[in-house]
Amino acid sequence: MEPRKLELSDKEWRKKLTPAQYAILRERGTERAFTGGYVDTKLPGVYRCAGCGTELFRSDAKYDSGSGWPSFVEPSTLEAVETRLDQSHGMARMEVLCATCGGHLGHVFDDGPKPSGKRFCINSCALDLESRDDD
Ligand code: FE
């Protein structure tokens, strides 16, 4: 694994992030289903990492999975995210991380719609939507 492009100390992360963002991104937490700010969002734009600002997902790839978390069929680019096996909580899941800062984003499952068949199940708190209406 290559070194992260953004490396901050724990103290710096605590300062930069809100407590909710810190719990997800740095402590691999999960927000409760249907509580995140972007679950039902359909605005066009780009979802950036709440930790480092890197573009991670596009609104075009977002779909309503009914899971209670923002769901995407694919990341913006293959390089934007990393996956690794997560065997916590007695399950074998693929964890999704921001490739730039190593922040925990969520998990990816194989029950997404075709053609990718992937469901990137991502915490709202790990994302920052840059709505196209902003500019
Ligand atoms: Fe990041």
C-alpha–C-alpha distance, residues 38 and 22, integer Å: 17
Q: How many distinct structural domains can be found in the chain?
A: 1
Residue of 52, 101, 121, 125 with catalytic role: 121
Q: How far is the CA of 50 from the centre of ligand 1 (A)?
A: 7
- pLDDT at site 134: 52
Residues 59-77: b if buried by 16+ CB within 10 A, e if exposed? bebbeebeeebbbbbbbbe
Across the chain, which has 135 residues, the per-10-residue mean pLDDT values are 82 98 97 97 97 98 97 97 96 97 98 96 98 70
Q: 95 in a domain, yes or no?
A: yes
C-alpha–C-alpha distance, residues 84 and 67, integer Å: 21
Overall pTM > 0.85: yes
CB–CB of 33/68 below 8 Å? yes
Q: 1 in a domain, yes or no?
A: no
Q: How far is the CA of 81 from the centre of ligand 1 (A)?
A: 9
Q: 101 in a domain, yes or no?
A: yes
Q: 14 in a domain, yes or no?
A: no
Specify whether 121 is catalytic.
yes
- pLDDT at site 4: 82
Q: How far is the CA of 79 from the centre of ligand 1 (A)?
A: 12
**45: domain CATH number?**
2.170.150.20
C-alpha–C-alpha distance, residues 42 and 34, integer Å: 15
CB–CB of 91/107 below 8 Å? no
User: Could you give the C-alpha distances from 42 to 3, 30, 62, 78, in angstroms and in order?
Assistant: 34, 22, 8, 23
Residue 98 CA from chain centroid, whole number: 7
For ligand 1, a single-atom ion, the residues with CB < 5 A are 49, 51-52, 98, 100-101, 103
Q: 20 in a domain, yes or no?
A: no
